[in-house]
C-alpha cells in the first residue's frame, strides 16, 4: 500500500494539475468509476490506477480487478492520501491517468463532415459538455482554438463524461492556422451568435461539410476576424427564442445547434 507523498505515482498524479506537463507527457487525469470504466472499455492506454478498497463498493472492486488483470499498473493507496491528492472533493476511491495525444488539425479537417470549434471558451464545464454533445450528435471532431480552456483539464475530462475518448480533438490550435485550413476545404462556417442573421431552419446544409464555432461565454466571437476567402461561406447563426430570455448558456446553445445540425444531416 502506498502511504507516502514522495511516492512516484503520487507526485505524478499531482503534476497532472499542470497543463504544460500534461501536454509534454500526453496524459490526462481520470477520477471516478464511470470515467475510468469508459476509458477501459475504449481500450485507452492507462498509465496507472490508484485505489482504496475502503472507499469502493463491490462493483468498483470488480472494475479494479479487471484493470489489474488486464495488465494496468494498479496500486492500493492510503484512503486519506487518496482524498488529499484527488481533484474532486468527494473522490470515489478510484483515480488514475491515461494517455491522450490529441489529433492533428490536418487529419481532422480532411476527414470530417461536421466539426465543432471552441473559440475562447473558458468554463471547463461548458467545454466538457460541448465535447460530450458533439459526440452525441454525430460530429466528427473538435478543434480547440488557442485561448480556450484545455480539454485535458480534469474538470473538462469529467464533464465530457468519456466523450474525450470517442471523438478526435485537436488541441491548442492557432486561429490563423485554422482559418488557412478552412480556406482549402469546402466547409460552411456557422457562427453561434445571439443576434445572428440566420437560423438553422433557414440554411440549406446539403452535403457540404460544416464547422460550428462556439465563442466565449461573455464576449462571444470577439476577435474572430473572418478572412476574405471565408466571408461567402460564413453564416452568423442564432437560435430562435420564443420566451423572454435573450440568450442561453454557451454549452446549452452549442448543444441545441449541434442537435439541429444532426437533424438536418441524419433524418
pLDDT tens-digit readout, 213-266: 999 998 888 988 877 777 778 888 988 888 988 788 999 999 999 999 998 887
175's grid cell: 486561429
CA torsion sign for 190, 193, 198, 199 is: positive
Phi, psi of 120 (to 5 degrees): 60, 30
In this prediction, the residues of the chain whose per-residue pLDDT falls under 50 are: none
Q: What ranges do the domains of the chain cover?
A: 8-99, 105-266
**Residues forming a β-bridge with 234:** 189
C-beta contacts of 13-16 below 8 A and 24+ residues apart: 13/50, 13/85, 13/95, 13/96, 13/97, 14/85, 16/97, 16/154
**pLDDT for residue 21:** 95
C-alpha cell recorded at residue 144: 480547440
Interacting residues of 52 by C-beta distance below 8 A, sequence separation 6+? 76, 77, 78, 79, 82, 93, 94
Same fold, 8-99 and 105-266: no
* Residue-level pLDDT at 191: 92
> Cβ distance 50 to 96 under 8 Å?
yes
The whole-number pLDDT of residue 161 equals 92
Q: Distance between CA atoms of 195 and 152, rounded to whole angstroms?
A: 32
- pLDDT at position 267: 67
Biggest distance spanned by C-alpha atoms of the chain: 62
**Superfamily of domain covering 105-266:** SPOUT methyltransferase, trefoil knot domain (3.40.1280.10)
pLDDT score of 148? 97
Cell of 102: 490529441
Reported CATH class of domain 8-99? alpha beta
Q: Which stretch of DSSP H or E encloses residue 169?
A: strand 169-173
Amino acid at each position: 500500500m502506498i502511504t507516502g507523498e514522495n511516492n512516484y505515482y503520487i507526485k505524478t498524479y499531482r503534476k497532472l494539475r499542470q497543463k504544460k506537463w500534461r501536454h509534454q507527457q500526453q496524459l490526462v487525469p481520470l477520477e471516478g468509476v464511470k470515467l475510468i470504466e469508459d476509458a477501459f472499455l475504449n481500450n485507452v492506454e492507462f498509465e496507472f490506477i490508484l485505489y482504496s478498497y475502503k472507499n469502493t463498493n463491490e462493483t468498483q472492486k470488480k472494475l479494479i480487478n479487471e484493470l489489474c488483470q488486464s495488465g494496468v499498473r494498479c496500486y492500493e493507496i492510503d484512503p486519506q492520501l487518496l482524498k488529499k491528492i484527488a481533484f474532486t472533493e468527494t473522490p470515489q476511491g478510484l483515480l488514475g491517468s491515461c494517455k491522450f495525444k490529441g489529433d492533428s488539425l490536418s487529419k481532422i479537417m480532411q476527414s470530417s463532415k461536421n466539426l465543432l470549434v471552441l473559440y475562447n471558451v473558458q468554463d471547463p464545464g461548458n467545454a466538457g459538455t460541448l465535447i460530450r454533445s458533439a459526440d452525441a450528435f454525430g460530429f466528427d471532431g473538435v478543434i480547440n482554438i488557442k485561448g480556450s480552456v484545455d480539454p485535458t483539464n480534469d474538470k473538462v475530462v469529467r464533464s465530457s463524461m468519456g466523450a474525450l475518448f470517442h471523438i478526435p480533438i485537436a488541441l491548442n490550435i492557432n486561429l490563423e492556422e485554422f482559418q488557412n485550413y478552412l480556406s482549402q476545404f469546402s466547409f460552411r462556417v456557422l457562427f453561434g451568435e445571439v443576434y445572428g442573421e440566420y437560423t438553422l431552419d433557414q440554411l440549406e446544409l446539403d452535403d457540404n461539410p460544416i464547422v460550428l464555432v462556439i465563442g466565449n461565454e461573455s464576449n462571444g466571437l470577439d476577435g474572430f476576424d473572418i478572412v476574405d476567402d471565408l466571408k461567402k461561406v460564413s453564416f452568423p447563426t442564432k437560435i430562435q427564442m420564443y420566451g423572454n430570455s435573450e440568450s442561453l448558456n454557451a454549452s446549452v446553445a452549442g448543444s441545441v445547434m449541434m442537435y439541429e445540425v444532426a437533424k438536418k444531416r441524419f433524418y
